[in-house]
Amino acid sequence: MKSHIVSAIETHKIIAILRGIPAEKLIQTAEALIRGGIRLLEITYDASAKISDEETANSIRTLADHFKGKLLIGAGTVMTTEQVRLTAESGGCFIISPNTDREIIKACNDFGLVSIPGALTPSEIADAHKAGADFVKLFPVTTMGPAYVKAIKAPLSHVKLLAVGGINQENMTEYLSAGVCGFGIGSDITDKTLIRNNDWDAIAQKAKAYAEVIRNG
């Protein structure tokens, strides 16, 4: 199971980040993303606790059940092992964090979920990999640029890196060339104004434009 998820992330490369999307619009948003060619979705936990962890887990369950076989659903902004447990029980298959926390990486492995902690420096990246991470989320990547990624990959070529933070259609190819194997992309695909206006065709077109960069790159 876990190897299948790792392979899917390496193949499809784009994880669309859904942050603060109303529960009643999740399915329509996901359907639009599928039409555009997206196959990986991240539902983020709310660090401010305005949205409870249980509500987020219910959103993950809704999408995982509804789109079984069409989408792989994971959780983002995961800061506790309890959130890992909730995600696993809700049908999520990967865990993304803004930081590297060995307890969370261990919990991912215990539950059979793909682990994607966040890191930036060579020491942080190496530590995350050593702790058992399947990928490392290089975040915030555009503060450093493609040259930094290329420099990181020279000694750490064995670590699978995902680029997150400021990624868009114009710079994706540069980061792929520098050595990343995928991306987390948020508001530029999952535009909240378009979602609020139920403009699902526009969401699908945005997703399609990103997916085409991957196909052509």
Q: Which residues are catalytic?
A: 42, 137
Task: Burial-class residue 182 by CB neighbours within 10 Å (0-12, 13-18, 19+).
Answer: buried
DSSP 81-111: HHHHHHHHHTT--EEE-SS--HHHHHHHHHH
**Rg (Cα) of the chain, in Å, rounded?**
16
Strand partners, 183: 14, 163
Q: Estimate to the nearest angstrom the gap between the alpha carbon of 124 and the chain centroid.
A: 19
Cross-strand bridge partners of residue 43: 18, 75
